[in-house]
Structure formats: C-alpha cells, structure tokens
Amino acid sequence: MIAFFSATGNSRWAAARLAAVTRERLVNIAEALTGDCVYNLEPNERLGFVFPVHGWRVPMIVRSFIRRLVVNGPQGESTPPYCYAIITAGDDVGLTIEDYLNPAIAANKSLRQLGISHVDSAWSLIMPESYVGLPFMDVDKKEKEREKISRSDQRLQVIGEEIFDRKKSVIRLDHGHWPWINSHILGAVFEHQLITDKPFHVEANRCVRCGICAQVCPTHDIIGGHGLQPQWKHDGSCLTCFNCYHHCPHHAIEYGQRTRHKGQYFMK
C-alpha cells in the first residue's frame, strides 16, 4: 500500500505515478484519519509513505497517521515487508527521514511486530514550491515549475523501478546545506510559531462564496461551503498547507499581509 498525504497535489501525483508501476493500493492519509487506520497487507505487498516535507520535518498529519496506524502482515511470511518513503519538497528535506520519519516508524508497535523499524530506502523529489507564509517565500515562476515537474517525472521512472525491485539502502535525498539546523532548530520554530490558521482571512469583496476552500482543506479546518464566506476554526488542526489559499479562484484568501500579490499553485 502507498499511504500518501498531499495538499497542493505534488505528492498525490507522485503517489499515483508510483501506484501505476507497483499496482498497489493508494491510501489517502487525510481520509484514512476519519476511520480506524487498520490495514492488512497482502503477501509481498510493500509499505510506502509519500508526503511533502513541512518545515524540514514530517507533516503533523502524517505523524498522527503513523501513531494510529495498525498494519497486520500476511500469515506465515518470514521476511518483513519492504518499506520506503518518497518525500516531495520545494528545495530540500533536511533530516526528515532520519530524525523524524524513522523514529515515528520505530515507535509504532504493529510495524515493529512486522520487523519494520525504519524505511529500507528513501528518495526526495524537488517539486513546485507551495509555501508562501513568510515574506521572502513565494511560488516558483511557471518555467521553474515546469522544469521541476519534468525532472521529477524522469526521476520517478527510475525510483518506480527501484521500488518495484525492492532495492534496499537507497538513500537519495536532497538534504540541503544545514540539514541538522534546518530540521531541529528552524523546524522547531516553524512547528511552534508558524503553523497556525490565525492569520488566514478572506477579502469579502473578492470572495464569491464558492466553498472550494472548505472543500479542499485536508483537516476540515474551514467552516464554509457553497454560499458561505469561509471562517477558520482555530482548533489547532491547520497545517498551514495553504491549499485553501492556492485553490481560491479569486485569490480572495490572504495570510496576514504576507501573501499579498503572491502567486498561487496547485498540481492540476
């Protein structure tokens, strides 16, 4: 199975491409969290995680999923299922796999019982930027978006074959220049200070009350819908994934003053 989380569609695209190669089922983490998160693996079925990096760490929603996840292995299988991860990022991933994903996997009892304590292999894919919450951050230029997607498309073909062949110890990650500082120090600031829905608001004169923002929010943090102006719940569930902002057809959603005149992106 391929458990994926995606806000703006990059990781969903990668997961779907991969599923076409491995012919394994896709599990949408945001939807799975509304259920029991219990899965039975078929004989020889692989276990994959595909998600974006958030603040050089594993997104909170993926960590919640792994905490709740119960995977039952097929009867009588002696080798642990092959486990891998693909993470998508605008630039670099720091120590997302080594210091955040692997410990989350190791802490899961059902995975430990199956003999899985870390990923066998991991890859990063550099994809169009979706984070616009800081003054110096914006989406990529269209040309750069196209280049990133085209390069990742080629890379995915190779990754798909490696995963199909269950290649182990392949660690092909864009760690960046200061992976420890980014994941541990900036990542902590990011997680504790910047993940909040408080600055989100709608420009009433541009909002057409279409309800798209509420529909695309992966954590159902927006009260709204067709005919209603969106209101954020401020209940701690927001991931600041900016899916509401990027999908607004009239660019009516802003994050404080920080998103004024910035671009929008989602993978079509």
Ligand X SMILES: Cc1cc2nc3c(=O)[nH]c(=O)nc-3n(C[C@H](O)[C@H](O)[C@H](O)COP(=O)(O)O)c2cc1C
Q: Which residues bind ligand X (CB under 6 A)?
A: 6-12, 52-56, 88-92, 127-131, 240-242, 267
Residue 2: name the closest of 101, 32, 215, 242 by CA: 32
Shortest Å distance, C-beta 184 to ligand X: 12
Nearer Cβ to ligand X (50/202): 50
- The label of the residue with tokens 């695209």 reads 13
The nearer residue to ligand X, 28 or 229, going by C-beta atoms, is: 28
Q: How far is the CB of 165 from ligand X (least distance, A)?
A: 25
Angle value at C-alpha 41, between 37 and 44, nearest 5 degrees: 150
Residue number, 90 or 230, with CB nearest to ligand X:
90
Please check whether residue 11 is in contact with residue 5, taking contact to mean a CB–CB distance below 8 angstroms.
yes
User: Which residue, 45 or 197, has its beta carbon nearer to ligand X?
Assistant: 197
As measured in angstroms, the least distance from the Cβ of 188 to ligand X is 12
| CB-based contacts of 157-164 (< 8 A; 24+ apart in sequence) | 159/18, 159/86, 159/123, 159/125, 160/17, 160/18, 160/21, 160/22, 161/21, 162/121, 162/123, 163/18, 163/21, 163/22, 163/46, 163/48, 163/82, 163/84, 163/121, 164/21, 164/22
CB of 105 to ligand X, least distance (A): 20
Instruction: Report the nearest approach of ligand X to the CB of residue 75 (Å).
Output: 35
DSSP for 134-171 reads STT--PPPHHHHHHHHHHHHHHHHHHHHHHHTT--S-E
Q: How many CB atoms lie within 10 A of CB 225?
A: 14
> In terms of CB distance, is 128 or 160 closer to ligand X?
128
CB of 132 to ligand X, least distance (A): 8
Q: Residue 126 and residue 10: Cα distance in Å, rounded?
A: 10
Of the pair 104, 111, the CB lying nearest ligand X is at 104
